[in-house]
Amino acid sequence: MTGNIHGSGQPPAGQAGKRPGPATTIAARTEPATLDQAFDGDSLYSVRAAVAAHASAAGIAENRVRDVVLAVHELAANAVRHGAGQGRVRLWATSDGIRCEVTDPGPPPAQAGGDRPGASVPDAPWPAEHGHGLWLVENIADQASVESGASGTVATVSFRFGTARVTS
């Protein structure tokens, strides 16, 4: 599944025309992430706390910090529930806000054989019809995209400085 769930998903400088796949991080370019943290189902609380601290330190308004935390948590929870059961969150400060990337390394073990309650089918990673998480992310982030493939899923959200989501 490849799709832009909101916004134009403008690439970082020097990346125009290049579409990163799930094995390629969207924002891992020349500057290191200000947050780079692995997670699993037992560490989502620490991800939320770290994202809140880094978004606030980057200058995101308090009410938008809550939106950032909610969006990243939803994406990370999807990686745990519908993906590989673990993943990585990265956050970068940009000139106009922040960019967060949530990745997982591949399909859940149940897709290789066996059943895992709540696991998605192989051709429908991170399905929106199972809940409202992706809809929520789409509606609170300034830009959001999700790309999935055999090597995993890359979900990216961007939040601009200011107090409200910018709509086109």
Task: Tell me the pLDDT tens digit for each residue of 59-87.
Answer: 999 999 999 999 999 999 999 988 889 99
Pairing of strands 86-94, 152-160: unpaired
**Where along the chain do its domains lie?**
40-108+124-168
Class of residue 154 by CB neighbours under 10 A (exposed 0-12, middle 13-18, buried 19+):
buried
- The pLDDT tens digits for 17-49 are 433 444 444 444 456 889 999 999 999 999 999
Q: The domain at 40-108+124-168 falls in which architecture?
A: 2-Layer Sandwich (3.30)
* Alpha carbon of residue 165 to chain centroid: 17
DSSP 58: H
The phi, psi pair for 127, rounded to 5°, reads -70, 135
